[in-house]
Amino acid sequence: MKMLINVPETVVADALRGMAAAHPELAVDVENRVIVRRDAPVAGKVGLVSGGGSGHEPLHGGFVGPGMLSAACPGEVFTSPVPDQMVRAAAAVDSGAGVLFVVKNYTGDVLNFDMAAELAEDEGIQVAKVLVDDDVAVTDSLYTAGRRGTGATLFVEKIAGAAAEEGQPLERVEALARQVNENSRSFGVALTAVTTPAKGSPTFDLPAGELELGIGIHGEPGRERRPMMTSGEIAEAAVGAILEDLTPRNPVLVLVNGMGATPLLELYGFNAEVQRVLGERGVPVARTLVGNYVTSLDMAGASVTLCQVDEETLRLWDAPVKTPGLRWGM
């Protein structure tokens, strides 16, 4: 496999050095692997900290900035960051208003963020935690007990980040984050396997004429393999699986997310089919976001995330944001 890297052992550090050079508005600590908005801590503002394995860019480091995360902790590829990173990030962004940890439901992330919360509280930092578990494809996987955390992480970080930017208190920011997670569901599909730098070859076998329905963002198995389907058929399967688990009473946010190797030409075409299925099911759409936001290195495929919104959460979604991976209104 050909990759634009030096050696697998330095791929994360090299990426962080490049991020620092491209984004002077961020303070990127390459050695300790913490990315912080340069103006942190902001007086009176709740700090938002998230993190996870590298390989899902722009999640999470690309979502650090005004209106979203205060800091992010990148781990090795597909590997949780360690508690020391999280405590360092919490200390860097805490203004005295408390810190919210946004945690995807993967076992390593959950354990390490739990430990970090205890250590941070020992240092006098008030910490709340929200677990994101939106993937309806499987109940348990190679990496999780319960549902996996995927595309809804973006919705949680954006909406909670906007609330924090307004100066809302920790209890309210946490409650909004939980509300967004509870109102979100996701489903993904893989057209090709993922290749990690350390392995240098596909991490699982997916024959050329098949796809995997319900794939995880680390390449965890989904619900089933099928012969290749059309974009419309995939949209019907993905949206159908979500709506079996979520019955929206209000309009929804739609995220059509690329897994890393699917071009926008295909993603926009897939979005047209997703919108068609939602229209046929009578689900009104408030906003739509299409692109690569929660990726899986070089995997070809896509995921769909729906989030039911009310007037307040839609207002917070529309609020200004300025990060490397998401920006509008500024």
Is residue 218 part of the annotated active site? The answer reads: yes
Phi, psi of 226, deg, nearest 5: -135, 160
Spatial distance between the Cα atoms of 158 and 138, rounded to a whole number of angstroms: 25
Q: Are 51 and 63 in contact (CB under 8 A)?
A: no
Q: Are 327 and 321 in contact (CB under 8 A)?
A: yes
Joined tokens for residue 168: 């809302």
Neighbouring-strand partners of residue 135: 186
Phi, psi of 318, deg, nearest 5: -75, -10
Closest CA to 88 of 62, 53, 119: 119
Spatial distance between the Cα atoms of 84 and 112, rounded to a whole number of angstroms: 9
Say what the alpha-carbon torsion angle 267, 272, 278, 281 is, to the nearest 10 degrees: -130
Choosing from 56, 60, 147, 148, the catalytic residue is 56
Phi, psi of 225, deg, nearest 5: -105, 140
Spatial distance between the Cα atoms of 53 and 194, rounded to a whole number of angstroms: 14
280: burial class by Cβ within 10 Å (0-12, 13-18, 19+)? Answer: exposed
Joined tokens for residue 275: 């919108």
The full DSSP string for 192-255 is S--B-TTT-SBSS---TTEEEET--TT----SEEEE---HHHHHHHHHHHHHTT---SS-EEEE
Spatial distance between the Cα atoms of 246 and 290, rounded to a whole number of angstroms: 21
Choosing from 218, 220, 261, 262, the catalytic residue is 218
Spatial distance between the Cα atoms of 90 and 95, rounded to a whole number of angstroms: 10
Is residue 60 part of the annotated active site? The answer reads: no
Joined tokens for residue 154: 């973006």
Q: Which residues are catalytic?
A: 56, 218
